[in-house]
Amino acid sequence: MAAVRLNAYLARAGVSSRRGADELIRAGRVTVNGQAAGLATFVAARDRVAVDGRPVSLEPLAYVLLHKPAGVVTTARDTHGRPTVVELVGHAVRVVPVGRLDTDTTGALLLTNDGQLAHRLAHPRYGVEKLYEAEVEGVPDAEDLRRLREGVDLDDGRTAPAGARLVRSGRAGALLELSLHEGRKHQVKRMCAAVGHPVRRLHRRGYAGIELGGLGPGEWRELTTGEVEALRRAATRRAPERTARQR
């Protein structure tokens, strides 16, 4: 094992989140090789780590795909007592979500205890693809789709180019498929509202090329070795540079 920062080690060991680990370290409850540790401490393979005098060790890496249902929050704990995605995944090791989905949004969500990979997947530098299906009010025309594809001006800047196609339409509205390489807060909802077609229901069908397949709402599965390798490749490719017009 290459040397890692102590808070990352504690998170990987299932003790707490990185933020929670920082609090444990500040409180003087963590030792490395019998000595009180600091926030800047790094841990190597042969180091002995303890919390409150109890030894801790690394858990095996785990990678999970969850079909998130509506009404479930994308956190490990919720102060309002709402169900969380972590509670849905009955895994032997502690896994946490990669990024977020709104409470009313359904679909593909990755959870893992591989903190380094999770950080890279969520970083805008790598432009990991997110594939959405959005039921919207009204029927977008060709100009609306062009704006979605080329970039929409939002209050935090113009969005990057996206894939957008009309799947079906009817009197009640339309279904859009959107492929994004950004991860701004409420981005799909804001984009659709900006072109005059507010979202009624939002579903994420896939993440980084991994799709739900036959997983039903609330169901989860382990990722295959090939899928994990694909995620690692996705987390090394930088997103294309924007033109001046798109910034």
Which residues are part of the catalytic machinery? 102
**Three-state helix/strand/coil letters over the chain:** CCCEEHHHHHHHCCCCCHHHHHHHHHCCCEEECCEECCCCCEECCCCCEEECCEEECCCCCCEEEEEECCCCECCCCCCCCCCEHHHHCCCCCCCEECCCCCCCCEEEEEEECCHHHHHHHHCHHHCCCEEEEEEECCCCCHHHHHHHHHCCEECCEECCCCEEEEEEEECCEEEEEEEECCCCCCHHHHHHHHCCCCEEEEEEEEECCEECCCCCCCCEEECCHHHHHHHHHHCCCCCCCCCHHHC
